[in-house]
Amino acid sequence: MLKIKIDEKDYECEKGTILLDFCRKKGINIPTLCEHGAIAEVASCRLCICEVIIKGRSQVVVSCVYPIEQECEILTHSEKIDRERGVILMLLKLRAPESKEIQELCEKYKAPEYKRFKTLDGGKCIMCGKCALVCKELGSSAISTINRGISKEISTPYGEPNITCIGCLSCAHVCPTQAINFESDDKHRKIWGKEFKLVYCKDCKKPIGTVEEIEYAKKKTPVKDEDAYNYCDECRRLHIAKVMAATYGEVETEMSSK
């Protein structure tokens, strides 16, 4: 175990522990936008920077990907970190001027404003890349980063509806600034310029996904009882429980009769 100090308090941690993970477990607040427990770290927003002091030498690290390898002192809100975090937020605000989340963080951390910098027409997107990454990890790769420099954005190839998109909304769910627009009504869902037909739970009648999403799930996680794909998560558990009860009930009855 390593002895460390975070914001003047003493702690112990295992070697190799990721700094942000440790701080969260201890209730130490560090702001972040690009971190998400369901996907690999992308370390793109840089908001989670901290100051690490080892043997008197200070360095600024990105806490979501920084492993604690030796005894050290960590400052999560030092004067230096607050100043650099404010600049980062100011730049993110220029990139995504319509983002309510960014605006609130700018106010909270007193981000400076420099009028000599030009605001980009970026809407709400901060280009963290989480949406493209989760789409790739799902195996769809329907969206990706296109263009370069200030024209860089997330889109489908050539901005056209992509046949590999299954309309699962995973990209929208991981977006930290709600930058990905989609539309849904009683029968359809539309995202990335493509329209999908919705499938409903056999029991409770709640929407459980698109036709393409259900077919994709069947290929990735095949089960013997294909009827299970016709239920939402809650109803599926009840359905499986009934199937198991019926199956084991029959076996028990046969054994008792012998």
For the whole model, what pTM was predicted? 0.82
Kindly list the distances between the CA atom of residue 123 and the CA atoms of 79, 120, 136, 155, 247, in Å, as whole numbers in the listed order: 31, 8, 24, 14, 55
Concatenated DSSP letters of 178-221: ----EEE-SSEEEETTEEEEEEE-TTT--EEEEHHHHHHHHHHS
pLDDT of 249: 62
> Using alpha carbons only, how large is the chain's radius of gyration in Å?
24
pLDDT of 246: 73
Where on the phi/psi map is residue 16: left (φ > 0), alpha (ψ -120 to 50), or beta?
left
Q: Half-sphere exposure of 69 toward its Cβ, with a 13 Å CA cutoff?
A: 5
CB atoms within 10 A of CB 191: 22
Q: How far apart are CA 10 and CA 26, in angstroms?
A: 11
The mean per-residue pLDDT over the stretch 21-30 comes to 96
pLDDT of 138: 86
The mean per-residue pLDDT over the stretch 133-138 comes to 90
Q: Over 80: is that where the pLDDT of 257 sits?
A: no
In which band, very low, low, confident or very high, does the pLDDT at 200 lie, cut at 50, 70 and 90?
very high
pLDDT of 255: 46
The region of weakest confidence among 28-32, 95-99, 208-212, 241-245 is: 241-245
Nearest to 206 by CA among 182, 234, 170, 183: 234
pLDDT of 250: 53
Give the model confidence (pLDDT) of 140-154 as tens digits. 899 999 888 878 899
